[in-house]
Amino acid sequence: MPEDIGFDFELETDSLSDSLGRYLPRRSLYVVSGAIGAGKSLISQRLAYGLVAHGAKLALVTTELTTRGWLEQVASLGYPLSDAAESGQFTLLSRFGVISDEVEEQVGIEEILESKPLQSADISIIDCASTILQNSEVSADELLSKLRNFCSKNRSLMLLIDPDEMAPEVTRALTSSAEVVIEMRTSEIGGGLNRTVAVTRFLRAAGPVQPRIGWRVEPGMGFIVDITAVS
């Protein structure tokens, strides 16, 4: 397949790529939204592992865990990325450092996008971008301009956002402009928790895109597509 078709993220352990377009489009903005606990971080970890497994150079910014805690978390799911981090194929950045030394001065989205790891990566993931953007004085139009400029240089960017943390106009601007828009939804059915990936938009897909993908998480196995819940 031509290289420009996109980034492969397929894994033998699940069928996510078969339901989610097969490849992530290049030079694109991806937005994954959802409330706390909806699964934004988990699907980004699954995608990160699959992307690295297929040779993509990736950078990830976490606002929630230390670098050590993040690597331990993904390893427990069956997504070990320590070797990729040591080789330089994967770069993990955290506002808490390695253990728990939080930086007092909060870094803005501009500084993050201009950092060397994100500038040199094929794909970058910011988890959670809304935590960084909620106090930003950058307007929605200015933000989109910066994001589009970043992606225009043969880079792709995934933003994980909690809509409750941002101004509605910023959320609308991001979701209306992105090539891929995914919403992580949860609901209670019969006393159990139903988890769904709702795909709002997926441009330049190389394969089938299911509008609703049911899923669950299993220790040591990570993200598992619930075939009975796919529609």
The rounded mean pLDDT for the chain is 91
Indicate whether 29 pLDDT > 50. yes
- Domains in the chain, number: 1
Indicate whether 91 pLDDT > 50. yes
Mean pLDDT of 109-119: 95
Q: Which amino acid is at 162?
A: D
Check which CATH number belongs to the domain holding 83 and give it: 3.40.50.300
Q: Give the domain extent around 132.
A: 3-97+105-229
Choose the weakest-confidence range: 2-6, 87-91, 164-168, 190-194.
2-6
CB-based contact 46:57 (threshold 8 Å): no
Indicate whether 176 pLDDT > 50. yes
Would you state the pLDDT for residue 96?
A: 75
What confidence category does residue 228 fall into, taking pLDDT thresholds of 50, 70 and 90? low
CB-based contact 208:21 (threshold 8 Å): yes
- H helical segments located in the chain: 16-19, 40-53, 67-76, 82-87, 109-113, 116-120, 129-133, 140-152, 168-177
| Distance, CA of 12 to CA of 19 (rounded, Å) | 14
Contacts for 114 with CB less than 8 Å, ≥ 6 apart: none
pLDDT tens digit sequence for 50-90? 999 999 999 999 998 999 999 999 999 999 999 999 999 99
